[in-house]
Amino acid sequence: MSDAVIIIGAGPAGLTAALELARHSGIRPIVLEALDDVGGISRTIEYQGNRMDIGGHRFFSKSDWVMDWWRQMMPVAPDKDADGFSVMPREDRYLLIRPRLSRIYFLRRFFDYPISLSAKTMANLGPVRLVRIGISYVWASLFPRKPEKNLEDFFYNRFGGELYRTFFKDYTEKVWGVACRAISPAWGAQRIKGLSITKAILHAVKKNFSRGNANVAQKDTETSLIERFLYPKFGPGQMWRLAAEELRARGGEIHFGLKVVALTRENGRLVAIETEAADKSRRRWHGDWFISTMPVRDLVLAVDPPPPAPVRSVAEGLMYRDFITMGLLLKKLKPRPEGKPPLNLLPDTWIYIQEPDVKIGRLQIFNNWSPALVRDADTIWMGLEYFCQENDELWRMNDAEFASFAIAELARIDLIDPADALDSHVVRIPKAYPAYFGTYDQFDTLREFTDGIENLFLVGRNGMHRYNNQDHSMVTAKLAAEAILAGRTDKAAIWSVNVEDEYHEEKKA
Ligand SMILES: Cc1cc2nc3c(=O)[nH]c(=O)nc-3n(C[C@H](O)[C@H](O)[C@H](O)COP(=O)(O)OP(=O)(O)OC[C@H]3O[C@@H](n4cnc5c(N)ncnc54)[C@H](O)[C@@H]3O)c2cc1C
């Protein structure tokens, strides 16, 4: 077997594929990356000594292979507090065990996320809304919408109409920029898996009896309810920089600033790809095998000779949601009963902003992910997250305009005083979310075409147009590496990741 393997993208999937090949064979993969850093969406951005995580990346997986892979790269910090969470290690190369607290901010109050039926929630909602929620939940249980045609039906069947309208509709539409009725129910199935009111209640009861359980895999817990997770001391990019280091030590190569812009196929195989650098210079790369994590839409439209018209039209119709995150350094938050003086630091890792009068979708408090992300312990370092479309009004604002807009929003919802803002850093992430609308329902047409290119493997998140987390992305990469090592060209196993496998195991359990 000839063994020149070219990998497009140095995110979690690309680096996992490269390392798996390098670890288990003499192959020295070549990774081509458009940006100047590794980690893709899971990279860590450094700004003036503070570190930003794009979105806040929990490291948890129901796959033992993934958990072991991470722990092999970075050991779990040895010292724990009484609840089993890590005490901050002095050394750098450690995974911390972190507690998750994420809440919903709505009506200028905090609600549990996922929404729980606690006394506090009931008090926040008031008796009239509660009765409406109860009746509509019972109604939806008795008369579910079948078949589930869209995301609205999915939420309605699990939570009832009133709870859906109160907690899911506005936020989901903020995230996706389209009505829930226009989104495939597959998104709900992947994003919140088997979550339902019954499971949320059972989870709340169980939680009260299981404090101090240090099992971070939480295999029997629904994905949306995961409460402790691993986290690299310096953010997710630390994991991927270590992976890149190991890859180079094993003879692999990573080339930065090279965007793949063309792929040449002959007789059902790719024979070469072409990259373009910032100065527009082009270079051709020949390989025997190709693994791609670049957006599948861009890939299909760059194949030469071009695919048949129906395949191109599905590719052209695939849609994405883009994302802006702004690091905001603050002297303090506004005082609230939950805030810890002197910074009034809230306990949350992240907060879903449900308020309809602002565009901000989520707020990360990086101090609570890892204190090592923050340069000065007497400041608060946050990530303000906005879901948008590339080139819309938000995307086009310059950084200074964006900063004043975002700071004014946080002040409007009573979380900060603008006078406490010290500095900010705006990061725009195109194609952060592959969308389950547009031509997504015809994806099989496109898949048939790419599967037919026998030495090409699509893996990862945008690579497969799948709402994959790091762990799913890694497993798809591992399977591609294994196929290449075995000389196999069948891709069915890769496409079944994050659809069936772990959750079949869960059902069996
Ligand atoms: C807001 C948010 C929160 C998230 N939270 C979590 C979480 O808590 N836990 C979790 O596990 N996952 C989380 N994820 C998902 C996680 O970020 C992704 O699953 C993971 O980064 C996907 O890895 P990947 O390698 O498939 O793709 P990417 O991370 O997108 O990497 C792809 C790489 O390919 C490069 N590339 C693209 N096009 C080209 C081209 N033409 N030529 C060369 N290079 C190219 C890109 O620059 C990038 O570096 C989150 C994602 C978002 C957006």
My answer on whether 314 and 446 are in the same domain is: yes
Q: Give distance in angstroms: CA of 460 to centre of ligand 1.
A: 8
* Any atom of ligand 1 within 6 Å of the Cβ of 409: no
User: Same domain for 345 and 421?
Assistant: yes
Residue nearest to atom 20 of ligand 1 (CA): 470
In a domain, 176, yes or no: yes
pLDDT digits (tens, 9 = 90+) for 222-242: 555 568 999 999 999 999 999
Containing 457, the helix (H) or strand (E) segment is strand 456-458
436-472 pLDDT, tens per residue?
Answer: 889 999 999 999 999 999 999 999 999 999 999 999 9
Q: Is residue 213 part of a domain?
A: no
Residue 288 lies in a domain: yes
Answer yes or no: is the C-beta of 475 below 6 A from any ligand 1 atom.
no
With a 6 A CB cut-off, is 13 part of the ligand 1 pocket? yes
Burial of 168 (0-12, 13-18, 19+ CB in 10 A): buried
> How many angstroms separate the alpha carbon of residue 336 from the centre of ligand 1?
35
Q: Are residues 411 and 484 in the same domain?
A: no
41 within 8 A of 498, measured Cβ to Cβ: no
323 in the same domain as 414: yes
Q: Are residues 253 and 353 in the same domain?
A: no
Residue with tokens 């995307």: 395
Residue at 332 is within a domain: yes
Candidate from 19, 57, 297, 324 with most ligand 1 atoms within 8 A of CB, to mutate: 57
Indicate which CATH number applies to the domain containing 298: 3.50.50.60
Q: Does the beta carbon of 463 sit less than 6 angstroms from any atom of ligand 1?
A: yes
Q: Which residues contact 444 (CB under 8 A, 6 or more apart)?
A: none
Question: Are both 332 and 375 inside the same structural domain?
Answer: yes
- What is the separation of C-alpha 370 from the centre of its chain, rounded to a whole number of angstroms? 18
Domain boundaries, position 342 = 44-62+72-102+319-434
> What is the SS3 assignment for 350?
strand
Is the same domain home to 161 and 137? yes
**CB atoms inside a 10 Å sphere around CB 154:** 24
Which of 31, 240, 293 gets mutated to test ligand 1 (max ligand atoms within 8 A of its CB)? 293
What integer pLDDT is reported at residue 215 of this predicted model? 59
Beta-bridge partners for 104: 111, 352
Count of Cβ atoms closer than 10 Å to residue 137 Cβ: 19
Q: With beta carbons less than 8 A apart as the criterion, state whether 259 and 276 touch.
A: yes
**Residue 221 within a domain:** no
**Total domains in the fold of the chain:** 3
Please work out whether the CB of residue 299 comes within 6 Å of at least one atom of ligand 1: no
Return the structure tokens found at 330.
Answer: 């603050």
Token pair 């993969």 in the structure block, residue: 29
Q: Are residues 416 and 452 in the same domain?
A: no
Q: How far is the CA of 31 from the centre of ligand 1 (A)?
A: 15
Residue whose CA is at the smallest distance from ligand 1 atom 5 = 57
* Phi, psi values for residue 111, rounded to 5°: -120, 155
Stated length of the chain: 509
Task: Give me ligand 1 centre to Cα 172, in Å.
Answer: 21
**Quick check: helix, strand or coil at residue 89?**
coil
- Considering the domain boundaries, does residue 412 fall inside one? yes
How far is 451 from 455, CA to CA, in rounded Å? 9
Please choose from 41, 362, 472 the residue to mutate so as to test ligand 1's pocket, defined by most ligand atoms within 8 A of CB.
41
Instruction: Give me ligand 1 centre to Cα 9, in Å.
Output: 9
Whether residue 328 has its Cβ less than 6 Å from ligand 1: no
| In a shared domain, residues 459 and 488 | yes
Nearest CA to ligand 1 atom 49: 40
- Give a yes or no: residue 208 inside a domain: no
Ligand 1 neighbour 232 (Cβ under 6 A): no
What is the phi/psi pair of residue 298, to 5°?
-65, -40
Q: Which of 370, 402, 434 is the last residue of a domain?
A: 434
Nearest protein CA to atom 7 of ligand 1, as residue: 57
Domain boundary among 434, 461, 495: 434
Task: Kindly report the CATH number assigned to the domain that includes residue 411.
Answer: 3.90.660
**228 part of a folded domain:** no
Three-state SS at 421:
strand
pTM above 0.85, yes or no: yes
Q: Residues 195, 263: one domain?
A: no
One digit per residue, the tens of pLDDT, for the chain of length 509 reads 558 999 999 999 999 999 999 999 999 999 999 999 999 999 999 999 999 999 899 999 999 999 999 999 999 999 999 989 999 999 999 999 999 889 999 889 998 877 777 788 888 888 898 899 999 999 999 999 999 999 999 999 988 999 888 888 888 888 888 899 988 887 777 666 555 666 665 555 555 454 444 456 566 555 555 689 999 999 999 999 999 999 999 999 999 999 999 999 999 999 999 999 999 999 999 999 999 999 999 999 999 999 999 999 999 999 999 999 999 999 999 999 989 999 999 999 999 998 989 999 999 999 999 999 999 999 999 999 999 999 999 999 999 999 999 999 999 999 999 999 999 999 999 999 999 889 999 999 999 999 999 999 999 999 999 999 999 999 999 999 999 999 999 999 999 998 754 433 333 32
40 close to ligand 1 (CB < 6 Angstrom): yes
Rounded distance, CA 193 to CA 182, Å? Answer: 19
Alpha helices (H) along 36-79 = 64-73
- CB contact burial 197-214 (16+ within 10 A = b; e otherwise): bebbeebeeeeeeeeeee
293 CA to centre of ligand 1 in angstroms: 9
Name the domain boundary from 414, 434, 454.
Answer: 434
Q: Is residue 462 within 6 Å of ligand 1 at its C-beta?
A: yes
**Pocket of ligand 1 contains residue 11 by CB under 6 Å:** yes
Q: Do residues 173 and 264 both lie within one domain?
A: no
Same domain for 156 and 133, yes or no, is: yes
CA distances in angstroms from 174 to 167, 292, 354, 358, listed in the order given: 12, 30, 9, 10
Atom of ligand 1 nearest to the CA of 429: 53
